[in-house]
Amino acid sequence: MRKPWLAILLFALCFGAPTMAQERVALNVIISDQRRDKSRQAPVVLALHAQFSSAKAFRARSGLDRVAREMGIIVAYPQAGPDGWAATGAANVVPLIAALRKDPRTKDQPVILIGHSDGGDLALRIACKAPQQLAGLGIVATKLTKATQCARAKPLPAIFIHGTADPIAPHGGNASQLSAGETIEAWIARNRCRADVRVTRLARTASDAFSA
């Protein structure tokens, strides 16, 4: 996909200590346990795939298994239902997070929720409604919807990655979504952070045609 992209990164410097389990939930989940030492507990990343994708495809394309091996963490890839996350929704994912927090492998360890596109939209809604379940948030290629209510709460570390040429979740927003900048501003307000902005531009390389 040879389009100009802009990576907007936002980190909040407050890190909580949420935590993983064997309770039954309504979702099919691929668990990738990359710990070298299985006796040690590990943090877990819960990765929500995009619409028209799948848990298996997200696992193959995201590179999260490689990161998990390097960092000794566990990644959970839930599969949305046939009608996607809009139908599967927070009612199933929030219990999954609670189950993961109880698992002996990750008890008392952080749970970080990430999502791509529609998965990112659901991740944002969960983070706004149930932030106490999470220690961090990662959002790729989506923005806050204008209908999402996200009141100020305990700061939740987050990273947002947006593409300037995104045709589905436009960088400048649309009738239903905030712009990338407005999404960042909303999270700054939610986290009660200072509105300092640092922009880093990465060198364009011949091999990937991406810039940030």
What pLDDT digit, counting tens, does each position of 182-206 carry? Answer: 999 999 999 988 767 677 777 766 6
CA 161 to chain centre: 10
Residue 5 above 70 pLDDT?
no
Determine the Cα–Cα distance for residues 81 and 25; give it in Å rounded to an integer.
13
- Two tokens at 127? 């983070």
What pLDDT digit, counting tens, does each position of 109-142 carry? Answer: 999 999 999 999 999 999 999 999 999 999 999 9
Residues 88-92, mean pLDDT to the nearest whole number: 92
- Two tokens at 201? 């531009």
Residue 210's pLDDT is: 57
What pLDDT digit, counting tens, does each position of 19-77 carry? Answer: 333 334 468 999 999 899 999 999 999 999 999 999 999 999 999 999 999 999 999 99
Determine the Cα–Cα distance for residues 80 and 51; give it in Å rounded to an integer.
9
Q: What DSSP assignment string belongs to 130-157?
A: -GGG-SEEEEES---BTT------S---
Residue 194's pLDDT is: 75
> Going by C-beta distance under 8 Å and a sequence separation of 6 or more, which residues neighbour residue 4?
164, 165, 210, 211
Helices within 54-158 (DSSP H only):
55-62, 64-71, 85-101, 118-129
Residue 92 above 60 pLDDT?
yes
Residues 164-170, mean pLDDT to the nearest whole number: 92
Residue 153's pLDDT is: 87
The reported pTM is 0.83
Residue 16's pLDDT is: 29
- Two tokens at 30? 């691929």
Residue 42's pLDDT is: 95
Strand partners, 136: 112
Kindly provide the b/e burial profile for residues 179-197, where b requires at least 16 CB atoms within 10 angstroms of the residue's own CB: bbeebbbbbbebbeeeeee
Determine the Cα–Cα distance for residues 95 and 212; give it in Å rounded to an integer.
36
